[in-house]
Structure 1
Amino acid sequence: MVDIQTLLQILWTGIATATYGVLLAAAFSLVLKVVKVWNFAQAGMMGIAYYTMYVVIFRLGWPALAGIAASLVITIAAALAMEVWGLQTFRRRHSPSLTYFIFTLVVSEFVQYMLAMVFGTEPVSLAGNLMSSSTLVGGIVISRWDLTALGVAVVVMAALYLLLKKSRYGKFMVAVADNPHLSRLYGINVRPVYAATFAIASVLVVAAMYLFGTRASMVPNTPLEMMLFAVIAALLGGMGNVFGAAGAALFLTLLRAFSILVIPSAWQGLILYALLFITILLFPNGVRLRRRAKVQPVAATPAAEPAA
């Protein structure tokens, strides 16, 4: 029998470790929403972001903030290069959607092999010591990394919400996502909106990879498994529903965390593929909660006047 203290610890740890998955799922879903591309090249961008920080922090010995800044610049540049010299070319040629899918997948694989050639296949992390200082609160172990990860995720997702819902440029992004052709008629330049979308997604990716790298180590093919998680969350949360994908990522992380109570850790990787199969089969358009229809009061019909 599992005691309540253990369940609370699993819950807290699951919420904390869900942070980078939430950011990655939101990044993938944002590009899917606005650009209408299944951006599997995000796995390559994840590798570029991670190893840029690793080089700056450990090879050059610079502070972590410098590593994050350099990673932002290089990751955004790589994403924009893919958009300008890849996806825009396909749009001009009116290429089929399968072309975009294959291209992003090839970019991801190419980056993975290049990183493996340069850095090898030994796991590396972004922290000299992955053991973070912790405090016992009500019987639950809360580490400094947990609080940092939750703070970063909340701030970044709140900023994304304000950008999409409140800012003028965010409204441009929503308009392009709904109908890019109609947006052009209203004077919206679609190309900068696509470029800004990839730049914003790169910010989410860099934040996620920094959080991951300060908690665990990575090899060049690790982003592919993390990418699969983001795809499942995007499908489960609804096609192009950015915050739905983030919520689905939190749910999936907690599901995997609690599954350790019934499934051995050696089989944890199988859960992702089982969830992908179930999601595609049963929830191709995402999980939509039905709202109970409000009963409108029926106005009383005035009585007919008696005939004269």
Structure 2
Amino acid sequence: MNPQALIDGLIAGSTIGLGAIGLTLAYSILRFANFTHGDFLAWGAYLTLTLFGLLGGLSAGLGAPVHPFSFGWGLPLAMLGGAALTVLLALGLDRILFGRLRARGADVIIIVMASFGASMALRSLLEFIFTAKPVYFTNALQIAQPLGLGMRATPDQLLVIGLTAVLVAGLHLLLTRSATGRAMRAVSENPDLAGVYGINVAQVIRMTWIIGAGLACVAGVMAGLLVQIRPYMGFDLLLPLFAATILGGIGSIPGAMLGGLIIGLAEAFAVQIIGAEWRAAVSFIILVLVLMLRPQGLFGQRGA
């Protein structure tokens, strides 16, 4: 078996895991499966691409060999702006749709169906504005460098893995060592009781959207940098995102990341063993097995 599948799986799993973190936070705090999360990945990628183009002169390469990446200083700056705009999109959607449904005491199934409809609208609007033609952050070609044991990776791919590790570590510290993290965990356990104890539940909900949308933008940029940007890129990742979320356990940040890595590795090895046409089925099979054998996931609690 080609060991290259290991590095390919880690790269794909980094994107899936980062996107799954926002999904698991939304599920544990907002109490519904947010189908728009995949579209936040696509919107984040396109918004970043637009800002990247506007930055013009900063789009030049960073200059190998000191900076061996395929993009210029404009991309990190554009990604910050794209993340901010994606957050505004998520907050706006919550204000005009999900927030009103929560205020009216709507059933969870109503909110889920609303998110499904909003997902279709966001995807169609994205395709209307940017067309369905794939686009790229850069046309620069990179040569994969040997890593040992028969594995190779480009600098951009290694950057994706490293950036994911930094973001996950930072988010873990935020949720475990800060007052904001403690408030989010309290609301996740019992929002009514958290409100009684003086926690601002509305602020926690806003923070959940901010973190989820911001990470979705980064995941979208990572996917677009390594592959391509398309209006349906987030939709195509939605099943792996849900599979990683449920596999890791609802509400668990390490679980979502580990679930993403497992899904990515499973897809990479499946491509080698049975062919690329079965890649999409891997997430579905894992999802079904988890729901049958351990529905609480790897890090979840039974009955949660």
- Tell me whether the two structures share a fold, i.e. TM-score over 0.5: yes
Q: How much has 1:241 moved relative to structure 2?
A: 2.0
Instruction: For 1:125, give the aligned amino acid.
Output: Y
TM-score w.r.t. the length of structure 1 is 0.86
1:50-108 CA-partner distances (Å, limit 9, x unpaired): 11112122366362133212211210001111222222211221111111101111111
Give the equivalent residue in structure 1 for 2:264: 253
Instruction: Say which is worse superposed, 152-161 or 116-125, in terms of deviation.
Output: 116-125
Q: Give distance in 1, aligned partners of 2:147 and 2:282.
A: 31
**Match status 1:41 vs 2:36:** yes
Give the equivalent residue in structure 2 for 1:50: 45
Give the equivalent residue in structure 2 for 1:29: 24
**Pairs within 5 Å for 1:87-106:** 87-106=98-117
1:3-47 CA-partner distances (Å, limit 9, x unpaired): xxx22x221222123211110011111111222221111122122
Match for 1:209 among 220, 226, 247? 220
Q: Give distance in 2, aligned partners of 1:252 and 1:198.
A: 24
State the number of aligned residues: 284
Q: How much has 1:148 moved relative to structure 2?
A: 0.6
**Pairs within 5 Å for 1:133-152:** 133-138=143-148, 139-152=150-163
User: Do the aligned residues in 2 keep the contact of 1:79 with 1:199 (CA within 8 Å)?
Assistant: yes
Match for 1:126 among 137, 145, 157? 137
**Match status 1:199 vs 2:210:** yes
Give the equivalent residue in structure 2 for 1:306: none
**Match status 1:165 vs 2:176:** yes
Q: Give distance in 1, aligned partners of 2:41 and 2:151.
A: 32
User: Do the aligned residues in 1 keep the contact of 2:39 with 2:123 (CA within 8 Å)?
Assistant: yes
Structure 2, unmatched stretches of 5+, are 59-73
User: Do the aligned residues in 1 keep the contact of 2:41 with 2:218 (CA within 8 Å)?
Assistant: no
Q: Give distance in 2, aligned partners of 1:272 and 1:71.
A: 28
SS at match of 2:185: helix
Structure number with bigger Rg: 1
User: Do the aligned residues in 2 keep the contact of 1:47 with 1:111 (CA within 8 Å)?
Assistant: no
Instruction: For 1:257, give the aligned amino acid.
Output: A
Instruction: For 2:48, give the aligned amino acid.
Output: M
SS at match of 1:123: coil
